[in-house]
Structure 1
Amino acid sequence: MIQKFLLLFLFTFLHNICFSQQEKQITKTDSLLNLSDNYINVDYKKSLQYAEEALIIAKKENNSNNKVRVYYYAAKSLVFFRQFEKASQYIEKGLQEKALKNDNLLKANYYTLQASYYSRMSLFEQQFNNLRKALTLLKSKKDIESQILTSNIYTYFADYYTELQDYKLANIYSDKSISIIEKIPINKYLSTKKIYKNKAFIYFYKSWIYLEQKNPHLAYPFIVKAYNQAVLEKIDYMALFNEIYGDYYYQTNDYKKAINFYLKAVDNKIKFGQNHANIDTKIADTYKKIGNSNNEIYYLKRAEDRRKIDQKEYNKIIRNELNRIVVKKNIEKKESYNKITIITLAFCILLIVLILRIRIVRKRKRGIIIEREKEIEELQQKVTDTFSELNELAKENSPHFWGRFQEIHPYFVQKLLKINPNLKTSELTLCAYIYLGFSNKEIAEYTFKAIRTIENNRYNLRKKINLNSTEDLTVWLRKYIDETS
């Protein structure tokens, strides 16, 4: 009897110790995730650090509920730091966790984060599709977090349409977002986790749309709301809010205030390890307006130097990520043995054949050039190769086209930005297509866009570079680029 009692006591004692340790582990994971959440928009390095500490514990526990939350927090910080490869891996791992199957809210969070990742990668169609999937998951949900996330998604749709310069739809989605977020009581909004809080950025995007339309007075109330909301939420990453104030004062010709806010934005971006070449360009343009040529030249040079570095890094990141995405898709499609697999494999084979063919042609041409020992023919052949290569990349709508074009025409972007520093990458890419002699129909075909869209983009581009309606854009562009090279 005594032996049985002792065994029972020992079993109970050991069980309580194990249970207590497990409870402490779970509590520690939750505590680390709370710390990670607290540092969002305050110190993303610390947010990432706490998330990765929590991940170590979650993996040891093999607790799916914890792992799926940890992967999300870590990926969110990694996207901010442009560490796309690791961020994508965490997103994919999170989406595969069993705990996500019955949690539509967290799954919608994942799709929204993945949409942000796709946006940073300039994969806008994938961004759009992910936002639609997230919105579908939230349709029947009425809790505060779901309402806030729905509001955030509408803002991301507004951002998507602003990039397309469809300001009508951008305003519609932005207004939907604001309508939802302003119906939520402020005390309930502030009680949610920081991963949901986006109210300041919702106002920011609305003001940005108006400024893109050159309506600074309509933008101003939302700029004020955005800034005040950011202060209320104790957001430390204030670069966007300072920059939008700078844009407002620039458009209202108060250039000294514009410079002041732009400089604040730059300081904040440096603090958070973000590039600021675009703001440097704005500062240079503002100094030009007030006749300060020394500062104008300084900031133009700094912007150009930074842009070259950023562009090189960006091209490398995009190239690696797109290759990784293609490889991942190929693996998935090989396993499913469906029609998409055949198309993907055919594409990969075609790509390999094309690369090999280009290499063979280059070797053959180099051999002919060496054999004939004619420098003129060598130069002509190189020009032909690069022109053909660019044409092929353009026709394939290849992600390598823009980077390769800038390697061949290193002063192209610099010269166009001298005319208008606010030209977007999409507009500069359109200039490249026009420079190469493609028609509107061909550009539409290669980029999978409507001819009408290309015509509108072309019209907007003419306005931005102040080109007379009587001048031919293609002729002017070639003359301007070639004569000043």
Structure 2
Amino acid sequence: MLRIFVITFLFSSTFLLTNIANAQTLEKRIDSLINLSQHTVDTDSSSSWADEALAASEAINYTSGIVNSILVKITNLVNEAKCDEALKYIIQNENLIRESKLDDKISFMMVLKSNCYSYLNFFEKSEECLKEGKKFAKKIVDKNIRNYELGRFFRISAAIKQLNPKTSNDLETILDYHQKSAKLFSSVEKDGLLNTGVIISENSIGETFLKMKQEDSAKLHFEKALQHAIKYNTKKFVDQSYAGIANVHYKKDNLDSALFYLESALSIAKKNRNKLHLGEIYRLLSTVHLKKGNRTKSLEYLEKYTKSADNLLTSNKNAVRVSADLLLLENEKKYNFARNQYIIAVAAVVFLLIITLFLITRILRKHKRVVNSNFEQQQELHGRLKKLQVPEQAEKIDDSVLDNLLNLAFSNDPRFLGVFTELQPNFVNKLIEKAPQLTASELTLSAYLRLGLTTKEIARYTKSSVRAVESRKYRLRKKLDIPSFEDINIWMIN
């Protein structure tokens, strides 16, 4: 029997350990797929790997893998300027990401959501998302990840100001936000973390310096972005760096250098499929070729730019319409949630009021019963006390004296025994004659028993337990030598 148990235990343990090892191996493979999808410049490959990672994560219920895969897919949609689709996908998966309790992932989701709203010109909603997301970013324990997420918030804050017509000329503030963002991204020192944030921020600083007509400073930051791209072995967002450097060369009339960098930027932007970047590169290529005197090439790129701009405009109009519907739907959900919360709160208050009224009514009824019971008991004891007096004395005793005695008994007042002795001197003297060793508390107990109080009543008035009163009665019975078959209450009365 023992041998069978040992074999079964070993088999079960081996099976369990094998499953754990397989799950861990699969999780590592999923993490590798996600890492590949984050590093690649090819959007199709990135989305394909993210889909594969998502399916594998769902099969083994790997929360981190599911959330990361979804965020990669959303990021790809944002990078392709498909903000309406990205927003739809965020809203579909928002509850799932929030339920993961992963602060860095929730924070990143809110950054992407804010980015979409700002791109679609819903600036107030964008800032609202940033404000909420920042709370999650500040809760992140890992300093590197926390700084990375906070860097994103400064970057998106700058983007909101850039896109908003009311604040787009405030270049000093925009530059300050981008510099703070770059500083936070640069402080991150963690192996395996793809720091594309610092590349984007350096590009954004370069673009801001270009608008401020500080070409040398702009070029310095575009080159910094390229250095970071080489460091992290990625070509993501490098098209912006090349386009920025090309713009600097164009402004300095270095047209051949400008064309070289623009063609490099175009090659990468096509792989990234970022319509916004492609349009800007086509526009710059058209401008440079026109300045070089190549009208044919200039018109060719101008036509591509116009087509790209028209497509982008149509896409943006549709995206804004869809996003407005999504925003209305989201606001309606919030309103319904708030209304339901209000109804629940009102119902809870009404329920509590009903319960309170019920309890008060019950307490009042109980109090009334106790008062009536006490009054009846007092009247009964009143009559019993008068019967215990000799006829001549009973006539002389005032009712107020009896009431006072009973009140002293009910409140367990030490003066009770003295007043009782005055009214029943013969009874007390006989007890002392029979058992001189009786204590004051035992004489008080005897007085209670003579009044006909039950064990429970004595326990209530003396704030003792029933068992304690029964023990005291037993000791009193022994001292007074009362037979066990005789009722001690009747003995005291007689």
* TM-score, shorter chain, exceeding 0.5: yes
Matching residue of 1:309: 311
CA contact under 8 A between 2:37 and 2:50: conserved in structure 1?
Answer: no
RMSD of equivalent CA atoms: 3.0
CA contact under 8 A between 1:72 and 1:94: conserved in structure 2?
Answer: no
Matching residue of 1:146: 146
CA contact under 8 A between 1:112 and 1:131: conserved in structure 2?
Answer: yes
Matching residue of 1:96: 95
Alignment of 1:256 onto 2:253: no
Alignment of 1:167 onto 2:179: no
Matching residue of 1:397: none
User: What 5-or-longer segments of structure 1 have no aligned partner?
Assistant: 342-485
Q: 1:44-65: per-residue Cα shift (whole Å, max 9, x none)?
A: 3333222222222332334444
Distance 1:9 1:321, change over 3 A: farther
Letter in 1 for 2:173: L
Matching residue of 1:134: 133
Distance 1:97 1:219, change over 3 A: same
Distance 1:290 1:81, change over 3 A: closer
Distance 1:29 1:48, change over 3 A: farther
**What is the 5 A alignment of 1:202-241?**
202-237=201-236, 238-241=238-241
Higher mean alpha-carbon deviation, 21-30 vs 142-151, is at 21-30
Matching residue of 1:180: 184
How far residue 154 of structure 1 moved from its aligned partner, in angstroms, is 1.6
User: What 5-or-longer segments of structure 2 have no aligned partner?
Assistant: 344-494
How far residue 123 of structure 1 moved from its aligned partner, in angstroms, is 2.6
User: More relative contact order in 1 or in 2 (CA 8 Å, sep 6+)?
Assistant: 2
CA contact under 8 A between 2:88 and 2:326: conserved in structure 1?
Answer: no
Distance 1:305 1:243, change over 3 A: same
CA contact under 8 A between 1:71 and 1:93: conserved in structure 2?
Answer: no
Letter in 1 for 2:144: I
**What is the 5 A alignment of 1:54-453?**
54-84=53-83, 87-92=86-91, 94-97=93-96, 100=99, 102-139=101-138, 141=141, 143-163=143-163, 164-184=168-188, 188-189=189-190, 191-194=191-194, 196-237=195-236, 238-275=238-275, 276-337=278-339
Letter in 1 for 2:51: E
Distance 1:98 1:228, change over 3 A: closer
Distance in 2 separating the partners of 1:104 and 1:256 = 48
CA contact under 8 A between 2:179 and 2:201: conserved in structure 1?
Answer: no
Matching residue of 2:38: 40
CA contact under 8 A between 1:135 and 1:150: conserved in structure 2?
Answer: yes
CA contact under 8 A between 1:159 and 1:205: conserved in structure 2?
Answer: no
Identity %: 14
Q: 1:8-64: per-residue Cα shift (whole Å, max 9, x none)?
A: 634652464255335423432342233222332523333322222222233233444
How far residue 161 of structure 1 moved from its aligned partner, in angstroms, is 2.2
Q: 1:425-483: per-residue Cα shift (whole Å, max 9, x none)?
A: xxxxxxxxxxxxxxxxxxxxxxxxxxxxxxxxxxxxxxxxxxxxxxxxxxxxxxxxxxx
Letter in 1 for 2:18: S
How far residue 145 of structure 1 moved from its aligned partner, in angstroms, is 1.6
Distance 1:205 1:326, change over 3 A: same
Letter in 2 for 1:296: S
CA contact under 8 A between 2:147 and 2:187: conserved in structure 1?
Answer: no
Distance 1:110 1:294, change over 3 A: same
Distance in 1 separating the partners of 2:149 and 2:282 = 33
Distance in 2 separating the partners of 1:34 and 1:310 = 34
Matching residue of 2:52: 53
CA contact under 8 A between 1:124 and 1:160: conserved in structure 2?
Answer: yes
CA contact under 8 A between 2:178 and 2:205: conserved in structure 1?
Answer: yes
- Secondary structure in 1 aligned to 2:213? coil
Distance 1:102 1:231, change over 3 A: same
Letter in 1 for 2:180: K
Distance 1:193 1:100, change over 3 A: farther
How far residue 210 of structure 1 moved from its aligned partner, in angstroms, is 0.7
TM-score, scaled to structure 2: 0.60
- Secondary structure in 2 aligned to 1:97? helix
How far residue 79 of structure 1 moved from its aligned partner, in angstroms, is 2.6
How far residue 305 of structure 1 moved from its aligned partner, in angstroms, is 2.4
Distance 1:329 1:12, change over 3 A: farther
- Secondary structure in 1 aligned to 2:325? helix
Matching residue of 1:20: 18
Distance in 2 separating the partners of 1:326 and 1:22 = 46
Distance in 2 separating the partners of 1:21 and 1:83 = 40
**Rg (Cα) greater in structure:** 2
How far residue 225 of structure 1 moved from its aligned partner, in angstroms, is 0.9
CA contact under 8 A between 1:111 and 1:130: conserved in structure 2?
Answer: yes
Distance in 2 separating the partners of 1:70 and 1:294 = 45
Residue correspondences, number: 334
TM-score, scaled to structure 1: 0.61
How far residue 284 of structure 1 moved from its aligned partner, in angstroms, is 1.4
- Secondary structure in 2 aligned to 1:39? helix
CA contact under 8 A between 1:39 and 1:46: conserved in structure 2?
Answer: yes
Distance in 1 separating the partners of 2:285 and 2:147 = 38
How far residue 84 of structure 1 moved from its aligned partner, in angstroms, is 4.3
How far residue 166 of structure 1 moved from its aligned partner, in angstroms, is 1.3
Distance 1:94 1:320, change over 3 A: closer
How far residue 334 of structure 1 moved from its aligned partner, in angstroms, is 2.9
Distance 1:53 1:8, change over 3 A: farther
Q: 1:376-435: per-residue Cα shift (whole Å, max 9, x none)?
A: xxxxxxxxxxxxxxxxxxxxxxxxxxxxxxxxxxxxxxxxxxxxxxxxxxxxxxxxxxxx
